[in-house]
Amino acid sequence: MFRSGPFHILARTLAAGVAGVLTIAATTSAVSAKPGPESHGDTAIPGLVPKPLQVTAKGGADFTLTEDTRIVVRGAERAAAEEVGELLATTLRPATGFELPVVATQPSGRDIVLSIDPDADYGAAEGNPEAYRLSSSSARVRVTGATRQGLFDGTQTLRQLLPAFAGSDVRVNADWRVPAVAILDAPRFGYRGIMLDVARSFLEVDEVRKVIDAASAAKLSVLHLHLADDQGWRIEITNSGRAAGDDIDYTALTRVSGATAVLGNPYQSADGHTGYYTQDDYRDLIDYAAEREVEIIPEIDIPGHTNAALAAIPQLNTAGSSHPATEAEPTAPHNGSIDVGYSYLDPGSEATYTFIEHVFGQLAAMTPSDYLHVGGDESHAMTQRYGHEGYVEFVERAVGIVHGLGKRTIGWNEYAETVLEPGDGVQYWAGATDHAKRAVAEDGAKLLVSPGNMSYLDMKYHPKTPIGLSWACSGDCDVQHYYDWSPQEVVPGVGDEDILGTEAPLWSETVRGVEQAEFMIFPRALAHGEVGWTAESLRSPADFADRLASVGTRLAIAGTNFYDGPQIPWSTALAGTDATASAGGSTDIAVGQLAAPGTKAAEDGTEVAVDSVDDADSTGGSSLTGPLTAVVDFGDGSAPVPARFAAEVPRGALDAAGVYAVTAPHAYAAPGTYRGTVTASDGTVAAFTVTVSGD
C-alpha cells in the first residue's frame, strides 16, 4: 500500500545538495561492455528510470552473477524479504539459466543480500517508507529497504543495473555484471499511478497482470481500475448481503453489461472487448499487484457515466433518472458511443442509495486499499435537470456512504464541490482549480495530479498515430511532453505537502487489447512516473532522454509494447543464444538476439537501421548512426559469414520493433560442441554454443 506523508518534502529539499554525486549514463548492453567516457570501473552505469536520489560510482571491479550466486535474505523481516527475493529470482532465472536459490543464511562471495531494516541509515531519505540502499562490489550486492516496498524498489533498480537481456524469458549468453555503485533512493510521492479504463474495452486478467509487471518494474505504485462506465460493467457484484427489502438482482450487472462495450467510432473501427472480472479474478489481481507493491484502487463512476448500470438494473430506471422506464424499455438501451454526460442516477430515489451501498460495500470488502474512487465527473445532464445543488447533495450522500464503509474517497475534481474529509483525494484532470484548492485548504483533502494535457495516455503521440484522441494534447504528445511539467504548479497554492501523488490515466475509447494499451502507456508512463518519484531539482529532459534510451531495450526484451519514436536515441543490446544442429547439410542456425528499438531490418535481413522514413508508423529513434551488420564465426575454423536479422514483431504503426533473431546458414562437418561468436559492426560481441549431433 502506498504511504503518504511528509517524507517527500525532505527528499526534495535535500536533493539539491546531493545532485553533484549523480553519475548515470545510457549505454549499449552487450556481452562485453567497453569502458567509455561515462564508465566507472569495468562497466558503465546504465540508464536508471526513475532517477535515484543519489548514485555514486565506487570504482573497482564489477559484481558478476554466476551459477553459484544465491539470494540471501537477512534481518528481522525475513519472510517479507524472502518474498521479494523469490520474485527477483523468478525474473532472472530464465535468462541466466542459474538456480539462484533464495536462502536465509550467512552470505558468502558472489551473493545478493536482501534485507528489510527500518533502523538503517537512509541519510537524505530518512523517514521515507520506500527508502532503500543498494551497494555493489566484486564480492556481493546488498539491497536494504526500510520496508518491504523499499526493498522491492531496490531490486527493480538492481534489475536495471544488470544487462538488458536479464529480462529475457529464454536463456541467453551474457556477462551478468553489475557495476560497482552505491545508491540511496526514495520517492518524492508515495502515489505514482496509472489508470486502466477496462469499462469501455475490457482487458483480461492476464493482460492486466502484464501491465502490472511493466508498471512495477518502473516503481509505479498504484493501478486505478475504472470498472464501470456507460459502455460496460466489469466487476461481479453478488446478491449476498442485500439489505432488507432490497430486491435488486446485482448479478445482472455483469450478465447484461459485462457483455457490452464501446462500439467502433471515427477514431477506432473495431468494437471494444467485452467481459468482466469475477470476485475471485479481482482478488487474484489484488494479490498479484500487492506482491509487486502495486495498490489497486477501483472506481465505480457515479452519478454520471452510469448507463451500463441503468441497462442492467430495472429499479434504477426511475422517473428521476436519465432513463425513465417504459413498458417497452424497462431498462436503458446499451449505448456504445463515446458520448459523455448524458446518463445519471436518480438523486431522489432510495433505490439509488441502496444500490450504491451494496455495490461499494462489496468493493470495500474485497479491496485492501484505504481508497475507493467514486468518479463524480461530467454529470452534465444531471446538473441541467437538478441544478448544482442537486449534484452536490447526491455526491455528499454517496461520499458519506463510502466513509461509512471505512474507506476514504477519491473523485475527479468536480466532486470537490462537496464537503470532504481529511485524507480524501481530489483527482484534478481539467477545468477550474478553485474547488480542488478549497477542498485541500478547508477539508484537509489531498490532491492527486492528473492534468489531462500532460497525463492522459490515450492522446495520440502525433497526428499519424492510428488510435487515440487529441482533445487534451495535439501535435507533439511524445514522451518529453509528459515529462516536462511540475505537479506543484497544476493547482496554484497546493504544494508537495498537500499532494497525494501523480497518475496517468489511459481511457479506452480507441484502445483494444493489451498490446495497444502498452503502446499508448509506454514510455509516457515512465516519464510521468519519474515526475512522481524524482526530486524536481534532479530532473531535466535531456538527462531523462539519455537514461530512457537504455530502458527501451528492456521493454522490448520483456515483450512490452511501446512507442519507439524519434525523441529518444534508443540503445541496442546483443546476446548470444545456444543452438543444436545436425552434421551434414546447411541450415539456418539461430545464434543470437538483438534488441534495437526504433529500427527496421533491410528487406534481405542483412542489416538493421533506424527507421528514418516518415510514413504511417512515423520515424523511429536509435543510437545507431548507420546500418548495423554482423558476422557469425561458427567456431569450426570456417570463415565468418554475414548474419541475418528477423524481427519477431516488425516496427509498425502500433508496434515497437521487436527483438530480432540473429541467424546465419551453416553446415557443420562433424558432430561436437562448437563455441562461436556474433560480432556486430559497432564492436559488440556475443558468444554462443552449438551442439552438433551425428543424426
Catalytic residues: 378
Measured CA distances, 148 to 84, 112, 117, 130, 221 (Å) = 8, 16, 9, 8, 13
Decide if 163 contacts 179 (C-beta within 8 A). no
- DSSP 3-state of 481: helix
Residue 447 CB neighbours (<10 A): 28
Provide the 8-state DSSP code for 691.
Answer: E
Per DSSP bridges, beta strands 499-506 and 630-633 are unpaired
Tell me the Cα Rg of the chain.
Answer: 27
Gap between the Cα atoms of 162 and 95, Å rounded: 11
Measured CA distances, 355 to 316, 365, 391, 418, 614 (Å) = 8, 16, 17, 21, 52
* ∠ CA 4-185-217, rounded to 5°: 80
Identify the CA nearest to 655 among candidates 694, 604, 600. Answer: 600
Q: What are phi and psi of 506, to 5 degrees?
A: -115, 105
Q: Which three cell numbers stand for residue 686?
A: 556475443
- DSSP 3-state of 637: coil
Provide the 8-state DSSP code for 655.
Answer: B
Decide if 531 contacts 487 (C-beta within 8 A). yes
Gap between the Cα atoms of 93 and 110, Å rounded: 16
**38-62 in b/e burial notation, b at 16+ Cβ within 10 A?**
ebbbbbbbbbbbbbbbbbbbeeeeb
Which residues have CB under 8 Å from 195's CB, separation 6+? Answer: 223, 224, 225, 226, 299, 503, 504, 505, 506
Q: Which three cell numbers stand for residue 499?
A: 499532494
> Concatenated DSSP letters for 455-467?
H-TTB-SSTT-SS
> Concatenated DSSP letters for 213-227?
HHHHHTT--EEEEEE
Residue with cell string 520493433: 657
Residue with cell string 521493454: 555
Gap between the Cα atoms of 164 and 452, Å rounded: 33
**The dihedral formed by the CA atoms of 547, 549, 554 and 555, expressed in degrees to the nearest 10:** 110
Gap between the Cα atoms of 563 and 641, Å rounded: 33
Which residues have CB under 8 Å from 152's CB, separation 6+? Answer: 84, 87, 145, 216, 292, 293
